[in-house]
Amino acid sequence: MTATTYTEAPPPPPLVAAGVETARLRLRLFTPEDLDGLCAITSDPVVMRYIGHGRPFSREETWDNLERIINAFRRRGHGRWALERRDTGALVGYCGISAGNPAVGVELAYMLARAEWGKGFALEAGRASLRYGFEELGLDSIAGLTLHGNRRSQAVLKRLGMKYVRDARYYDFACVHYAITRADWRRDESPYRVIQGQ
């Protein structure tokens, strides 16, 4: 008689949607081919003023960041989507939910090319990301962090229904912490469609 050893099966890979479409935007998975488009955004000192250390990224830094975004999606099944305009197909930034500081939990993250500011794209993409997080991933709450001086971003978070939590230091930066719970979130009638993966 031989002994049978039972081992626990590895967990299935996370479900990854191919993307989300809104009225004017497509939120899709990043690919290495997005490097040039992303470099055009991260090399702008005005865009990067309130991101990280407040300076433009080199091409190498942008590539490292892009690799982390792609790999995080593979591991977790969610993260920062590439943000492109549906009318032109142009990459205009990113938006999505990613694992942040453990004290914060999952957070909404976004960045837009300067030429696209003031068009409501951050709000549109933010609404879609929150809906994806609450409806598809079943999250209980989503945070939003900004540096103190980033008034534009704070206004977006407030319009998304997020409430002020505290001023604190995260990632060694002085931040303003906002958050919204699933109980407080309200789905609106904005166009929204999840594109399932193949």
**How is residue 102 annotated by DSSP?**
T
User: Quick count: other Cβ atoms within 10 Å of Cβ 20?
Assistant: 22
Per-residue b or e along 102-114, where b marks 16 or more CB atoms closer than 10 Å to that residue's CB: eebebbbbbbbbe
Per-10-residue mean pLDDT of the chain, 198 residues long, equals 42 68 97 98 96 94 96 89 97 93 90 97 97 94 94 96 94 92 94 85
Which fold is adopted by the domain 19-188? Aminopeptidase (3.40.630)
pLDDT of residue 1: 41
For the stretch 128-170, pLDDT in tens is 999 999 999 999 999 999 998 999 999 999 999 999 999 999 8
Ordered by start, the domain boundaries in the chain are: 19-188
User: Can you tell me the distance from the alpha carbon of 121 to that of 123, in angstroms, rounded to the nearest whole number?
Assistant: 5
Strands (DSSP E) found in 2-124: 19-22, 25-28, 80-85, 91-99, 106-112
Name the strands in the sheet holding 163-170, side by side, starting at the edge strand that comes first in the sequence: 163-170, 173-181, 141-147, 106-112, 91-99, 80-85, 25-28, 19-22, 192-195
The reported pTM is 0.90
Note the pLDDT of residue 41. Answer: 98
Predicted confidence at residue 15, as pLDDT, reads: 61
Residue 163: CB atoms within 10 Å = 13
